[in-house]
């Protein structure tokens, strides 16, 4: 057998595990439901109150739910059974969405119902993803975590940004928002049934570790101390949050204006550009997951994130659609590849009983800086041309990447903690 075939199949190896197949299916269905809800929510709000203010308030509920519970979700994931958290979140979300569907079908739904549902969905995600990240190392061997994160990285844009919203638009357009709400509720109900079948692998270690903890606040402080005392981790979080601050606003807020100024069919063109970014993320995730973890894994990750923004310079300079599509595809691919490495390193370098808190801190920092970036993008465009902002957004991250590599002593960690062999042992502490 040629060497090429095992490399191509590497990304699919996690699917050989029953628990991972169940988890992968549940995540895919949940991401699909969340993506579809973004469309159903919009048209349900518009049917109740055709006001941008109302839509903005309800849409903010999802982010508020994420932000409010992101830290607590990580502490819970490290204190309790990950499996039980996953099951509880899926069950409660299915119940909330089913209630919304019934209210919508009966004509009794009100604006605040939709807002509460969005908040609940965000809160559920804040508990689900730290638990999922911490549960995965109990399911798969270390050498398969990269492939698993790659599969998830490809799944999210495909289902959450592609199929879910597309099908949601078709269903709502052909029928009415209530039917879309029924499909969302059904998807979460199916995911709930699937996760009920997960084995109790993680509960063997939970019983001993939870007895040693004193309080939620103490757990949180321990998590913060661990991150602050682990240089590669601290500087990755600093760099990642800076990256979100720099590029999120230009892509989400300023790209539509740039598109409108350059192309006649601005709406369709903007959709194509976002699709290119999402497809790039899926492709980058799959490519990385089919390979071995690089020897210089931290360097590779930081270079992907820092160097991956350079194509944004083309967005500022070029007004040719194909160049813009290629640029956003490249940014998406590099971002997706880096995220896959990052998720894998959390699961392989961070102690098992700390993964949930570290994942939630990462989640919290990312969420906190994204709205800030979106908020300042508009006012900044009054001071600088939009094209200039994209050029700056492309050039600053590579410089910050070099700072993070040096300040975080990334190469030292890579030498002390080699992860390019299948027999790498998990250490209780990552290199500081």
- Confidence at 301, pLDDT banded by 50, 70, 90: very high
CATH class of 1-213: mainly alpha
308 token code pair: 């991956």
Question: Which among 273, 305, 304, 313 is positioned nearest to 394, based on CA atoms?
Answer: 313
Give the N- to C-terminal CA distance of the chain in Å, as an integer.
42
Q: Which stretch of 28-32, 62-66, 183-187, 346-350 has the lowest confidence by average pLDDT?
A: 62-66
Q: Residue 108: is it exposed, middle or buried by C-beta count within 10 angstroms (0-12/13-18/19+)?
A: exposed
- More reliable by pLDDT, 213 or 378: 378
Answer for the pair 362, 233: CB distance below 8 angstroms, yes or no. no
Structure tokens at 244: 């979100």
Helix (H) or strand (E) holding 75: helix 52-79
Looking at the chain, the whole-number percentage of residues with pLDDT higher than 90 is 29
Residue of 180 and 169 predicted with greater confidence: 180
**Closest to 249 (Cα-Cα) out of 312, 157, 184:** 312
3-class SS shares of the chain: helix, strand, coil, % to 5: 85, 0, 15
The stretches of 290-320 forming alpha helices (DSSP H) are 297-307, 312-317
Cβ atoms of 404 and 238 within 8 Å: the answer is yes
Rounded CA separation 89/85 (Å): 6
| CB contact at 8 A, 338 and 332 | no
For CATH 1.20.1250.20, the residue range(s) in the chain are 1-213, 214-420
Kindly give, in sequence order, each residue whose CB lies less than 8 Å from that of residue 59, ignoring residues fewer than 6 positions away.
41, 42, 118
Q: Please tell me the class of the 214-420 domain.
A: mainly alpha
Give all strands (DSSP E) within 342-392, no chain letters.
Answer: none
Asked if pLDDT for residue 111 goes beyond 70, the answer is yes
Using a 10 angstrom Cβ sphere, with 0-12 exposed, 13-18 middle and 19 or more buried, the burial of residue 185 is: buried
**Model confidence at 213, in pLDDT bands (50, 70, 90)?**
low
- List pLDDT tens digits, range 171-187: 766 777 888 888 889 99
pTM: 0.77
244-293 tens-digit pLDDT: 889 888 887 788 788 888 888 776 787 788 778 888 888 998 898 888 88
Residue 91: what pLDDT? 94
Q: Are 262 and 319 in contact (CB under 8 A)?
A: yes
Task: Check if the beta carbon of residue 413 is closer than 8 Å to that of residue 431.
Answer: yes
Instruction: Please say whether the beta carbons of 132 and 89 come within 8 A.
Output: no
Distance CA 402, CA 379 (A): 29
Tokens describing residue 135: 């549960």
Q: Confirm if 333 and 48 have CB atoms less than 8 A apart.
A: no
Mind giving me the DSSP string for 163-196?
IHHHHHHHHHHHS-HHHHHHHHHHHHHHHHHHHT
Going by C-alpha positions, the residue among 182, 30, 37 that lies closest to residue 99 is 182
Q: Is it the case that residue 236 has pLDDT exceeding 90?
A: yes
Phi, psi of 254 (to 5 degrees): -90, -25
């Amino acid at each position: 057998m040629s060497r090429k075939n095992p490399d191509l199949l590497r990304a699919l190896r996690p699917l050989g595990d029953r628990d991972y197949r169940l988890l992968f299916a549940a995540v895919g269905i949940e991401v699909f439901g969340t993506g579809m809800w973004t469309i159903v929510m919009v048209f349900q709000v518009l049917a109740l109150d055709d006001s941008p203010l109302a839509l903005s308030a309800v849409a903010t509920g999802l982010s508020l739910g994420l932000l409010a519970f992101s830290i607590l979700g990580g502490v819970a994931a490290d204190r309790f059974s990950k499996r039980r958290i996953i099951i509880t979140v899926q069950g409660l979300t299915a119940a909330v969405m089913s209630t919304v569907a019934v209210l919508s079908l009966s004509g009794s739904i009100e604006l605040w119902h939709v807002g509460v549902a969005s908040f609940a969905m965000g809160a559920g995600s804040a508990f689900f993803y730290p638990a999922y990240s911490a549960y995965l190392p109990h399911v798969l061997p270390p050498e398969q975590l990269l492939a698993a994160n790659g599969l998830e990285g490809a799944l999210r844009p495909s289902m959450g940004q592609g199929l879910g919203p597309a099908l949601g638009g078709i269903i709502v357009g052909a029928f009415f928002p209530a039917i879309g709400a029924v499909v969302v509720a059904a998807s979460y109900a199916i995911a709930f049934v699937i996760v009920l079948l997960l084995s109790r692998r993680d509960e063997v270690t939970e019983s001993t570790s939870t007895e040693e903890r004193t309080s939620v606040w103490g757990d949180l402080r321990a998590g913060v101390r661990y991150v602050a005392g682990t240089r590669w981790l601290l500087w990755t979080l600093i760099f990642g949050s800076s990256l979100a601050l720099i590029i999120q606003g230009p892509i989400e807020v300023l790209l539509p204006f740039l598109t409108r100024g350059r192309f006649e069919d601005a709406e369709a063109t903007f959709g194509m550009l976002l699709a290119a970014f999402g497809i790039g993320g899926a492709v980058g995730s799959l490519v990385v997951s089919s390979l071995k973890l690089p020897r210089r894994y931290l360097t590779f990750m930081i270079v992907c994130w820092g160097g991956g923004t350079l194509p944004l310079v083309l967005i500022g300079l070029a007004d040719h659609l194909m160049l813009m599509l290629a640029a956003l595809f490249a940014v998406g691919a590099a971002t997706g590849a880096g995220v896959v490495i990052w998720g894998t390193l959390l699961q392989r370098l961070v102690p098992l009983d700390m993964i949930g808190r570290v994942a939630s801190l990462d989640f919290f920092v990312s969420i906190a800086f994204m709205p800030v970036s979106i908020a300042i993008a508009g006012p900044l465009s009054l001071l600088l041309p939009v094209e200039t902002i994209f050029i700056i957004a492309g050039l600053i991250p590579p410089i910050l990447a070099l700072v993070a590599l040096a300040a975080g002593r990334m190469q030292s960690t890579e030498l002390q903690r080699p992860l390019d062999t299948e027999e790498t042992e998990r250490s209780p502490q990552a290199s500081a």
